[in-house]
Structure 1
Amino acid sequence: MTQLFLIGIGTGNPDHLTGEARRVMAEADLFLIPHKGDGKSDLADLRTQIIADLRDDAPIALFDMPVRDDSLPYLARVDAWHDEIAALWTATMAQYPAARKVALLVWGDPSLYDSTLRIAARLDPLPEVRVVAGITSIQALTAAHAIPLNTLNAPVTISTGRRLRDHGWPDGCETLVVMLDGDCTFQSLDGDAYDIWWGAYLGMPEQILDHGRLADASDRIVERRATARAAHGWIMDTYLLRKLPEK
């Protein structure tokens, strides 16, 4: 049976690779690398470089990522997109019938706001799926700012920009980590009621950080984010919001 290894590689820094990740990558028969289109080739290039730093004999199969159908409702759109990606994985692996250990490098960790595991479950025939844990963007964010994720004995909520936009600040929440927010939804909140810690390209040479009272930092982050996205053609960012005690 083919084994499919989903390897968390952190947020772009080769030093984020764990010893387990390095061992599995050294044993892989094939690496699948998605190409996400114009302006994002450096994401594929970075994956390729991480592999090349470990071994110079690695067989690599590139495949073009499909585009989501924006005419569909959100969940239906993502569901159909995952079907298309799974079909591409299957077709690509079929071109390498001798490969028994196939590896796919996943940004951050495959368990957190990532659909690689859901896509892998759609493969036919279904391989044995193994996960190698990686450093998440949340860990990279709190480390970069040198802050704890939670306050003393308090919980943390992890959500998306879409949910913050549609449902507002979660009831009873003190600390909220927001991922996948291309619209800078923090602008909809009361700027005097929250502190924000924001980071883009975490762990990479291009890393950008900002933090402060939301009222002071909001416009600054929006501007810096737009400038960086225009310069690179893509952006990956995450932020943590902490609600201030009511006076």
Structure 2
Amino acid sequence: MTADPATPDAGDGKDAPDPFLTLVVLSGGMDSTTLMAHYTALRHRLVALTVDYGQRHRKEIESARRVAAHYGAAHHVLDLTGLGALLSGSALTDGGVDVPDGHYAEQSMRATVVPNRNAVLANAAVSVAVARRAGTVALGMHAGDHFIYPDCRPVFLTALRELVTVANEGFPTPRVEAPFMTWTKGQIAGHGTRLGAPLELSWSCYKGGEAHCGTCGTCYERREAFREAKVPDPTRYLDDTTLFAPPAAR
């Protein structure tokens, strides 16, 4: 039987993905900035993909540009602002919803959920990776995200990997990796610091002001992470003294 020449053969060496080319979904936050350092330490060549979905905290996009430049990585910004405009009800895309202050595990942080966000971002990244024959798509979700965000949990990653395999059958399919899935934010802060990641360039605050507010869920998680890791925090916060007890401790 003669193979269809129009159908890529994933088993053909020339069509196989490059195991040392990694596409990082780079938000510009601490986790994805540390991902850049992590794969650089593994001597991978990096391509960074940032998604503009109309997020309130637009400073993270500029942070992503600066982080990508730091690593000399090609950086692409995908414009999904049209989609973001349709996502009412999330504090990150709807100007009528306030970004809540408090501990990141509070149920009030559900206001910051963007429906299906990581599925959209990850699948966009996989499309680019398949086209460029990248061997890996790297995502920055971690254990601290599991409380609130369903698309940051291990079951999501398992389902995503299965989808990627099925959706790209016969094509050079990348591995989808989330090396920090079981890590705390503090472990990520420590890892990034040890690897020399430019965490001072990263942006976490969901309010998107000129400085990190220090009291929204992501700012507070960032503050806790550096304390847990016992490493210097290079971030300027408007409020670095207010403390919130985790819900389980009340």
Instruction: State the TM-score bracket (shorter-chain normalisation).
Output: 0.3 to 0.5
Structure with the higher fraction of residues in strand conformation: 1
